[in-house]
Amino acid sequence: MLKGRFLILLFLIPIFTTTAWTKICWAVDFSFKEHWKFPIPPQGDPPKNFSDLEASLDPDDCGTCHETQYEDWKTSRHSKSMGPGVAGQLHSPWVNNPLTCTKCHTPLAEQSSKKISPDGYLTKNPNYLPELRSQGLICAGCHVRRHIRYGPKPLTGKVKNPPHNSFVEVENFGNSKFCKPCHQFDPGEYRINGKLLQNTYEEWKNSPYLKKGIHCTDCHMPERRHIWQGIHNPEMVKKGVKIETTREGTDVSFKITNSGVGHNFPTYVTPKIVIRGSVFDKNGTEVLRSVEEKFIGWNIPLNLSKEWYDTRIPPGKTLSGKFKINPITAGGKFRITIRVFPDDFYSRFFKALLDNPPNGIDTKKIKEAYNETQKSNYILFEKYWDLSFKEK
């Protein structure tokens, strides 16, 4: 009896120590739910064999070896997620617990000055490293738990004995579930007109992209690049929409199709896209009374109490419209422009804070954030038609 068990044990030991088996065991150990437990528990003491460089959570240090990812990440919004707009309102009256914001913006325990004590109170966090907070969503926030690195299956051959005790290879690391915790509200969270304020993952899940196996990373991290471009980037937006215009007499029609965005265009309440039609006179001056504007977006008031309109375009769908040219000038031009305001909501919000600053607001930071939101708009599309109406 006893002998038999001993034999089984002897038989199992070599199998479990082969790398193939450890890999399978690791893979089973990984769950998105565990990985994204908020706030992410403190990393604890680094393994004894780690050098200072391997023990560091600072992205600059990861960057000494992972230069490509570091250079790309630096250009992304993820590296700016603790910018002045967020930092400036962390101690405002409506944020009674800053951890509700740091959850997505700086998710590591080491990035928060406060923590929840076992009896449920906000207390000082002894693990706080301020230099990590200001760097936003850092490498370690997505890749490191208890000093263990997690990453996708390498595309090329695996390096022998890599530093930081190697890494755990996760089969579906680039799955949309990875992005969900920060880009999707839970069903019980805030809704406007019955719709969740943040619903990007569900929008994607209900689109044809799920069936085609096209995940967030396929569009936002092409070739695993850490760029995460979105609404702030004209080239990225151009990849996602098809714009057609036609003129017949005094009618100029347009069609905007969401041909390559994996969710609503746009997905959040923050951007506003303005389609403007207007006449320009012979001297190139816009005739103000000819201006007509139409909007794409989910527009809401600052108190989030209701929606004014929701004209976002779901994947594969088209928004069409028409401008009627008023033949008020001869020899002029008619123009359509499509201008994107990526931060329209925040621009209005920061302006209201500055006009009437509540206690706890860092007005210097909010002013800086406001100026940034004022500068982020750009022209996505522009077209002119010559007008050849006879002078009356």
Q: Which of 86, 80, 112 is nearest to 99 (CA)?
A: 112
Residues 6+ apart with CB under 8 A from 285: none
Residue 362 belongs to what H/E stretch? Answer: none
Indicate the SS3 state at residue 150.
strand
In the complex with ligand HEC, the residue whose CB is nearer, 62 or 275, is 62
Distance of closest approach, residue 277 Cβ to ligand HEC, in angstroms: 22
**Amino acid making up residue 332:** G
Helix axes 19-29, 2-17, angle to 10 degrees: 90
Residue nearest to ligand HEC (CB): 262
In the complex with ligand HEC, the residue whose CB is nearer, 152 or 321, is 152
Location of structure tokens 């937006």: 237
Runs of H (alpha helix) within the chain: 2-17, 19-29, 32-35, 52-55, 59-65, 67-75, 84-87, 99-105, 130-133, 139-143, 180-183, 200-205, 208-212, 216-220, 234-240, 344-355, 363-375
**Amino acid making up residue 161:** N
Distance of closest approach, residue 99 Cβ to ligand HEC, in angstroms: 9
Distance of closest approach, residue 175 Cβ to ligand HEC, in angstroms: 8
In the complex with ligand HEC, the residue whose CB is nearer, 38 or 385, is 38
Cα(52)–Cα(55) distance, integer angstroms? 5
Distance of closest approach, residue 182 Cβ to ligand HEC, in angstroms: 3
Q: Which two tokens stand for residue 371?
A: 């100026």
Distance of closest approach, residue 31 Cβ to ligand HEC, in angstroms: 15
In the complex with ligand HEC, the residue whose CB is nearer, 44 or 249, is 44
Distance of closest approach, residue 301 Cβ to ligand HEC, in angstroms: 16
In the complex with ligand HEC, the residue whose CB is nearer, 89 or 290, is 89
Q: Which two tokens stand for residue 186?
A: 């839970």
Q: What is the DSSP letter of 53?
A: H
In the complex with ligand HEC, the residue whose CB is nearer, 206 or 250, is 206
In the complex with ligand HEC, the residue whose CB is nearer, 333 or 348, is 348
Distance of closest approach, residue 15 Cβ to ligand HEC, in angstroms: 24
Give Rg (Cα) of the chain. Answer: 26
In the complex with ligand HEC, the residue whose CB is nearer, 98 or 327, is 98
Location of structure tokens 């997690």: 150
Distance of closest approach, residue 292 Cβ to ligand HEC, in angstroms: 24
